[in-house]
Structure 1
C-alpha cells in the first residue's frame, strides 16, 4: 500500500535522481527541474512532454524499468 508520509527530500537531489533514472530507460524530460515559485513546498517541475515520450514512460513503469 502506498504511503502518504512526507519525507524531507532535497528537490535538487530528487531531480537529479529522476533524471538519471529516466536516462537509464532512454527517456528525457526537457523541462525537468526544481520549481522555485514555492521553495517551502519542495516541488519538482516535470514539465510537458510529447505523447510518445509519455507512452515510453508508461511502458518503462509497467516493466519496472527493465529492458
Structure 2
C-alpha cells in the first residue's frame, strides 16, 4: 500500500543518489564506509532524506558524483 506513496519515492530517490555517489567515489578510488542515508531525516510522513557522509541532500550528492566522474584520474 505504501509502495506508491510520495514518501517512498523520495526515499528511493535518496537511495539512488547515495548509490550514485558510492559508485563515483569507488571509481575515484575512494571509500566512505559510513556512507548511508541519515535515519532521522527519513522519519515522519513526509521524509526529507539526507545522504550521510557529513550530510548533504540528494541533489548535492549527485553533483558531487558527477564532479568526481568528470575529474577522476
TM-score of the alignment, normalized to the shorter chain, above 0.5: yes
Name which structure has the greater RCO, CA cutoff 8 Å, separation 6+: 2
List gaps (5 residues or longer) in structure 1: 1-7, 48-59
More helix by share: 2
Tell me the TM-score normalised to structure 2 length: 0.53
Out of 24, 29, 41, the position equivalent to 2:27 is 24
Q: Please report the RMSD computed on the Cα atoms of aligned residues, expressed in angstroms.
A: 2.2
Cα offset, 1:21, TM superposition: 0.2
SS across alignment from 2:71:
coil
| Separation of aligned partners in 1, 2:25 and 2:37 | 16
Counterpart of 2:18 in structure 1 is 15
Q: 4+ residue runs of structure 1 moved beyond 4 angstroms?
A: none
Please state if 1:33 is matched with 2:33.
Answer: no
Please state if 1:43 is matched with 2:50.
Answer: yes
